[in-house]
Amino acid sequence: MKATVISRTSIYVAAGRAIGAREPDTSVRNPDYLAEPLLGDPSALGLDHPAVRALTLPYDQAMQHVEVANIVRAMLIRTRFIDEALERAVAGGATQLVILGAGFDSHAYRFQSLLKPAKVFEVDRLATQALKKQRVDAVLGGPPANLTYVPVDFQHDDLPAVLTRHGYDPGQRTFFILEGVTMYVPEESVRATLRFVGSHPAGSGIVFDFVYRTMIDWLTNTEPHTLSRPAQAFVARFRNVLKDEPWLFGVPVGQEREFLAECGLVLREAFTIGGDESLKRYVTKADGTQVGAETIAAAMARLEQHTGRTRRRLGAYQIADAVVA
Ligand SMILES: C[S@@+](CC[C@H](N)C(=O)[O-])C[C@H]1O[C@@H](n2cnc3c(N)ncnc32)[C@H](O)[C@@H]1O
């Protein structure tokens, strides 16, 4: 990826959070109320995707598009799980927070009072970070005093060395957020990053999402003409979002515990984003209905009618948290 290119995937996921933050039912509303203001004018974002176009629509209308409903759900699960993990880490004594591949991440701003005693570092590629800083200045009048922006490319820079040059202390109990990043980074850089996390004092930890290798293989090798018409359109739009940031890395299926152990980390919990557990925990309203359910069920029924096959849930997209023992 060219150094000057803004991450389109960071826009896509922040749009999913921004729309989810408009949900009227607070029990299933995405807590990221800053996603929308940080993104700013949707027409200036340079990404044509239903999730970005949906920013200009009323919530109910936006949620009628299956790709919007899907990204809103996935982001709701991610944001809520990560918010909970962060609160637990600070309550457990973490004094540093490092947000890796930060994009439009808003934890440093939404959790200012929780994080007051801690140091916070946002790590990202230079161009995306420069845009983020501009937006933070415009929306919030500048970053909180405890936040440091650290430009890093995981593929080319020495993360521990650059962080340390920016005032980071590897001897402190530290919590890491690695949200929506592992798939974009080669295996060796993912391993190096996780080994770095694993080298921290006991009680340090990380929350991160990942895909299984089968998903990378499917996305890389599937020929569009082998898919149904609606699936072709979806895959074409998704590949367009990933144009500058291809998916590279997936964990071997079911091997997350072993993969983490090799990096000095103990898996606390992992579950499928969009699987039953995640839907029950984060996406289900008091009356038992789920955010986006009607739209997604209708789209699945259309797809199954088209293909004559019952859709299998792959469970290949996971979220996890892990600790240094
Ligand atoms: C899908 S976005 C996720 C952004 C943010 N974490 C979130 O969940 O909203 C991917 C992020 O990873 C960053 N990224 C991808 N590859 C990277 C690399 N090699 N070095 C540093 N950052 C990278 C992108 O710049 C972008 O901010």
Residues 6+ apart with CB under 8 A from 206: 175, 176, 177, 178, 194, 197, 265, 321, 322
C-alpha 307 – ligand 1 centre gap (Å) = 35
Record the pTM: 0.96
Write out the two tokens for 289: 């209905």
At 322, is the secondary structure helix, strand, or coil? strand
Residues 6+ apart with CB under 8 A from 64: 295
Tens-level pLDDT at each residue, the chain (325 residues): 666 789 999 999 999 999 999 999 999 999 999 999 999 999 999 999 999 999 999 999 999 999 999 999 999 999 999 999 999 999 999 999 999 999 999 999 999 999 999 999 999 999 999 999 999 999 999 999 999 999 999 999 999 999 999 999 999 999 999 999 999 999 999 999 999 999 999 999 999 999 999 999 998 899 988 888 878 888 888 999 899 999 999 999 999 999 999 999 999 999 999 999 999 999 999 999 999 999 999 998 888 877 777 666 668 999 999 999 9
Look at ligand 1, atom 13, and give the residue with the nearest C-alpha: 101
Question: Count of CB atoms within 10 A of residue 232's CB?
Answer: 15
Among the four given CATH numbers 3.40.50.300, 3.40.50.2300, 3.40.50.150, 3.30.70.890, the one describing domain 78-214+244-323: 3.40.50.150
Per-residue pLDDT at 311: 65
Choosing from 7, 120, 154 the residue with most ligand 1 atoms within 8 A of its CB, the one to mutate for a pocket test is 7
Per-residue pLDDT at 3: 63
Per-residue pLDDT at 63: 98
Cβ of residue 153 lying under 6 Å from some atom of ligand 1: yes
Residues 6+ apart with CB under 8 A from 56: 42
Look at ligand 1, atom 20, and give the residue with the nearest C-alpha: 153
Cβ of residue 318 lying under 6 Å from some atom of ligand 1: no
C-alpha 123 – ligand 1 centre gap (Å) = 9
> In sequence order, what DSSP letters do the residues of 118-150 get, joined into one string?
SEEEEEE-HHHHHHHHHHHHHHHSS--TTEEEE
Per-residue pLDDT at 312: 66
Cβ of residue 101 lying under 6 Å from some atom of ligand 1: yes
Domain boundaries along the sequence of the chain: 78-214+244-323
Per-residue pLDDT at 4: 77
> In a 10 Å sphere around its CB, with 0-12 CB exposed, 13-18 middle and 19+ buried, how is residue 265 labelled?
buried
Host H or E run for residue 196:
helix 187-198
C-alpha 253 – ligand 1 centre gap (Å) = 23
Write out the two tokens for 24: 């009227």
Cβ of residue 185 lying under 6 Å from some atom of ligand 1: yes
